[in-house]
Amino acid sequence: MRRGFTLVELIIVVIIVGILASIGLTQYSKVVEKSRAAEARMILGTLRSAQVANSFDLGTYQTVLGLGVGAPTTCASTHFFSYSCSSSDGLCTATRCVGTNGKPQGGTAAWTKTLDINGSWGGSAGY
């Protein structure tokens, strides 16, 4: 009596492993993108706090550069997002860097996350 696996059994196992790997990879990329969005939430919170403080002190809103917060205004190799703030209403926006700009990533769509002066989140979901 021969021991071992037949070719059909091996092909079925390879197909099952391939299906499980494809499901796992898509879920993994979603989790990675959500963790990258944590960068945007953290920095937008810092920008909002600086906007509120600046509004109390000077009575006006500032751009990112005027706030003195170390947030990149263009895609940089140190961040996954670029940031901007409106000097008219204090709305701060994080725009997802794509392609070769910013940190290496897999996404191809540039989505945004916003935080206004009242603490309301918005933007276009991309994760």
What is this structure's pTM? 0.73
At 17-66, the pLDDT tens digits run 999 999 898 888 888 888 888 888 999 999 999 999 988 888 888 888 88
The answer to whether 113 and 94 have CB atoms below 8 angstroms apart is yes
- Beta strand spans in the chain (E): 81-85, 92-96, 112-115, 121-123
At 96-126, the pLDDT tens digits run 887 765 565 655 567 888 888 888 888 886 6
Spell 39-71 as b/e; 16+ CB within 10 A means b: ebeebbebbbebbeebeeeeeebbebeebebeb
Count of residues making up the chain = 127
